[in-house]
Amino acid sequence: MEDLASKAIDHAVSHGAEFADLRLESYRGTNIVVMDGRTKTVSAALPTGCGIRAFIGGAWGFAVTNDVSPSSLSAAAESAVKMAKVAQQRTKVKFKIDLAKAERAVEKYKCAVRPSDVRTEDKVAFAANLDKSMRSADPRIVSTNARYDDFEGERVVANSFGTLVRTTEAWTLASCSAWAKSDDIVQRGHSACGSVGGYELMRTEEATMLGETAAAQAIRLLDSKPVPAGRRVCVLDNKMTGLLAHEAIGHACEADAILAGGSVLEGRLGQKVAAPEVTLVDDPTIESTFGHFSYDWEGVRARRRVLIGEGVLTEFLHNLETSSRMGVEPNGSSRAHTYGSPPLVRMSNTFIAPGDWGRDELIEDTKDGILFQGSQYGYVEPSKGQFMFKCDEAYEIRSGEVGQRYRDASLSGVILDVLNSVTGVADDFTTGDPGYCGKNYQDARVTDGGPHIRLADVVVGGLA
């Protein structure tokens, strides 16, 4: 594969590309979904192919082929160059791709049990058992959804700077959602686990208990009261802190959004944007996480990125294009869904770093507020800095003690206002649930997380 990749790059340059790169991939994956006791999806993918880009004078050409023979790769390289030449005539922003360090590496992710060595029947049985455990937990469980995903693949990244990186990777993920109903009240419980690694991750107690965990949460919420709306002091648990880090802040730190005028953080580099207690990090180098990788999809070595350091905006997430246009070093933030998609600026493991407060100490110091636990979903408009998140469950904090449980609680606000309202960051750092982040119709595996944090004045909303 490496020899094919190098020759295709040379061919693109010989036909006029100022810069060229490619991703040559061969992978297999499984997706299984069991809903309400019925197996809805059992699918497998076994594709091989190559995506090659050519850059000329500020414009890209991108070609894809499923035939990885030398002649087909050469034809794809020529096609990419032709498209770049046509696009160059219309592009308004002229720039060059700055020379980046040529990387040469062969890496293999840890994997004790290859998913492809496990029978499909056993994977289906695993998902079916998760679904069954939810349905049998309580008669009030009215709907269930259990999902299993795995992936094994090889990827070669090469470019005209001399980079040649071969990666062998594997990851697995399982998730459960349960819906409980009592009278007119319907509540959802959710649980997930997964990481870079093999099927051994699905044989852990955490994985086998996902269904029971999700069902118990759904049942618990049926007996909860609607949260009272208004402006409140809020304490966010590890998962809600992670959702805030990823959705509200992380997307606004993506350099392609900055260049497109789509981020509230545009023009604020080096400025104070958060309380001094806030340090925001995106770090793909953390092993045993779902967002882990060592080299990005442009062959740049990944590293820890401190996006906000003690309240000051210090760095954005970059690919080769954005770093070239903004005059900084690339930092390994380029990823693509498959070889058939051009790489984009993406997050990996995004989190708020731990502080000095103890978790219990932070709550005891809160006289009147709301404790948010777990994360369901979030919405953010990076260009305006507005967001809304919904948690799994919430609790009243009165005189420093956790009391009444609430359901249907949401938190909303403006990113910069909320970042500056942080009055305490605990030391109990954990990562949140693994998942997929969508952008431009591409998914990327990610993890978020953080410690408990306290916000001084946030809008809390709920449903009756």
Mark whether 342 and 330 lie in a shared domain: yes
pTM reported for the whole predicted model: 0.93
Mark whether 208 and 296 lie in a shared domain: no
Give the separation between CA 433 and CA 69, rounded to whole angstroms: 40
Mark whether 141 and 160 lie in a shared domain: yes
What range does the domain containing 411 cover? 226-461
Mark whether 192 and 327 lie in a shared domain: no
Q: If we measure between CA atoms, which residue out of 155, 128, 153 comes closest to residue 2?
A: 155
Would you state the pLDDT for residue 1?
Answer: 79
Q: Which of 223, 258, 278 is the C-terminal boundary of a domain?
A: 223
pLDDT digits (tens, 9 = 90+) for 150-180: 999 999 999 999 999 999 999 999 999 999 9
Q: Which of 208, 223, 238 is the C-terminal boundary of a domain?
A: 223
Mark whether 151 and 269 lie in a shared domain: no
Domain at 161, CATH number: 3.30.2290.10
Average pLDDT, integer, range 7-15: 96
Would you state the pLDDT for residue 432?
Answer: 82
Mark whether 202 and 304 lie in a shared domain: no
Q: If we measure between CA atoms, which residue out of 386, 404, 416, 413 comes closest to residue 232?
A: 413
Mark whether 119 and 244 lie in a shared domain: no
Q: How many domains does the chain have?
A: 2
Instruction: Calculate the alpha carbon distances from 290 to 35, 233, 418 in Å.
Output: 24, 32, 27
pLDDT digits (tens, 9 = 90+) for 310-347: 999 999 999 999 999 999 999 999 999 999 999 999 99
pLDDT digits (tens, 9 = 90+) for 289-315: 999 999 999 999 999 999 999 999 999
Q: If pLDDT is split at 50, 70 and 90, which confidence band does 463 have?
A: low
Average pLDDT, integer, range 367-379: 91
Mark whether 213 and 324 lie in a shared domain: no
pLDDT digits (tens, 9 = 90+) for 13-41: 999 999 999 999 999 999 999 999 999 99
Residue 378 confidence (pLDDT) above 90: no
- What are φ and ψ of residue 379, in 5° steps? -135, 135
Mark whether 72 and 217 lie in a shared domain: yes
Q: Which of 223, 238, 255 is the C-terminal boundary of a domain?
A: 223
Mark whether 187 and 276 lie in a shared domain: no
Average pLDDT, integer, range 55-63: 97
Mark whether 415 and 334 lie in a shared domain: yes
Would you state the pLDDT for residue 464?
Answer: 41
Mark whether 182 and 284 lie in a shared domain: no
